[in-house]
Amino acid sequence: MTTPPDDELWSAIGDPSRRQVLDLLVSHGEVSASWLAGRVPFSRQAVSKHLVVLERSGLISRRKEGREVLYLVEADRLDQATRAMTEVAAQWDRRLATIKRLAEAAHAENKRTTPS
């Protein structure tokens, strides 16, 4: 077993709505909560909640500019998250490859012992 992705990251990016918020931050840089709320199919309150979770996980940070609060991604932490994701995907690929090998061997064995 390789090191599993850490829990906070995992649950922060595990939610599709949050990933949508994260997506927008990745592609648009520093933006405000209201800007985000105008681009997602959920409420301003939901956006705020997602921002809190993302900030707690270290994936984003905030900065005050005048009266506005702007959010931005923390690229290093996000990089860590995506590496974790890539690793999980690779683990499933390895498991699928083993399943394939086992099933194909079992099938060959069945054919050998019960010729039709």
Partner 1 sequence: MPSLMIDREVLIAAPVDVVWRTITEPDQISQWFADKVELVVEPGAHGYLGFGDQGGPVVVETVDPPTRFSFRWNHPRGEEPVTGNSMLVEFTLTPEDAERTRLRVTETGHELRAWPDEEKQRYADEHQEGWGDFLDRLDTLIKKR
Record the tokens describing residue 3, joined without a space. Answer: 């090191």
Q: Are 60 and 73 in contact (CB under 8 A)?
A: yes
What is the distance between the alpha carbons of residues 53 and 34, in angstroms, rounded to a whole number?
A: 17
**Residue 54 within binding range of partner 1, rule CB under 8 A:** no
CB under 8 A: which stretch of 17-25, 30-38, 63-71 binds partner 1? 17-25
CA angle 8, 88, 95 (to 5 degrees): 145
Nearer to partner 1, 15 or 55 (CB): 15
**Residue 32 within binding range of partner 1, rule CB under 8 A:** no
**Residue 103 within binding range of partner 1, rule CB under 8 A:** yes
Query: Residue 110 CB: number of other CB atoms within 10 A?
Result: 11
Nearer to partner 1, 52 or 99 (CB): 99
Binding residue for partner 1 (CB under 8 A) from 64, 67, 92, 114? 92
Picking from 28, 32, 29, 25, the residue whose alpha carbon sits closest to that of residue 67 is 32
Q: Which residues bind partner 1 (CB under 8 A)?
A: 1, 4, 7, 10-11, 13-17, 19-20, 23, 26-27, 41, 73, 75, 78-79, 82, 85-86, 88-89, 92-93, 95-100, 102-104, 106-107, 110
